Amino acid sequence: MRRRAVSAAFAVILAAAAVLRAGAAEPRVVRIVAKRFTYTPSEITLKKGEPVVLELVSEDRVHGFKLPAFRIRTDVRPNEVTRVPLTPDKTGTFTFACDVFCGDGHDDMTGTLIVTE
C-alpha cells in the first residue's frame, strides 16, 4: 500500500516535470492584429535570444507584414492565422510595415519591434 502511494506520488512528480519542460519549450505567442491602416500592438518588445511566435491576423483585407531586419515577410489574410517563428539575434529598434498596398493610409501602416538584451 505504502509502495503504491510512493509510486503514485513519483508519477505525479514526473508528470509535473514533463509539463514544466513542455512549457519551457513552448515559445511565447505574440499576437498582432492588422487592420487598415494599423497594427495592434504597433510596438512590440522582445528579448534577444527569446524564441517567440508572431501570430498575425487581419480584421479586414489582405495586408503584408515585412520585417526586413530579420528577413521576414508574409501576407496576412482575413480568417486565417499566420504564424511566424522569430528568435531575435540582435538588439535594436526595427521597423515592420505593410507591403501590400491597402489604400490611402497604407504608408502609415508601420510598427516597431524593440529587441532588448
Partner 1 sequence: MKLETDRREFLKLAGLGGGVVFASTLWGGTLDGAENEFHFVQLSDTHWGFEGPPNPDARGTLPKAIEAVNALSRQPDFVVFTGDLTHTTDDAGKRNDRMKEFRDVAGKLRAKTVRFLPGEHDAGLDKGDAFQAHFGATHYTFDHKGVHFIVLDNVSDPGSIVGEAQLKWLEADLAKRKKDAPIAVLTHRPLFDLYPEWDWATKDGAAALALLEPFKHVTVFYGHIHQENHHTTGHIEHHSAASLIFPLPAPGSVPKKAPVAWDATHPYRGLGWREIEAYPGKGSFEIEEKTVSGAEEVKKASLAGILG
Q: Give the footprint of partner 1 on this chain (CB under 8 A).
A: 62, 64, 66, 68-69, 73, 75, 94-95, 97-104, 106-108, 110
What whole-number distance in Å separates Cα of residue 88 and Cα of residue 72? 11
User: Shortest approach of partner 1 to residue 49 CB, angstroms?
Assistant: 23
User: Shortest approach of partner 1 to residue 106 CB, angstroms?
Assistant: 8
Contact predicate 100/62, CB 8 Å? yes
User: Which one, 51 or 77, has the nearer CB to partner 1?
Assistant: 77
Contact predicate 111/95, CB 8 Å? yes
Contact predicate 30/88, CB 8 Å? no
User: Which one, 27 or 70, has the nearer CB to partner 1?
Assistant: 70
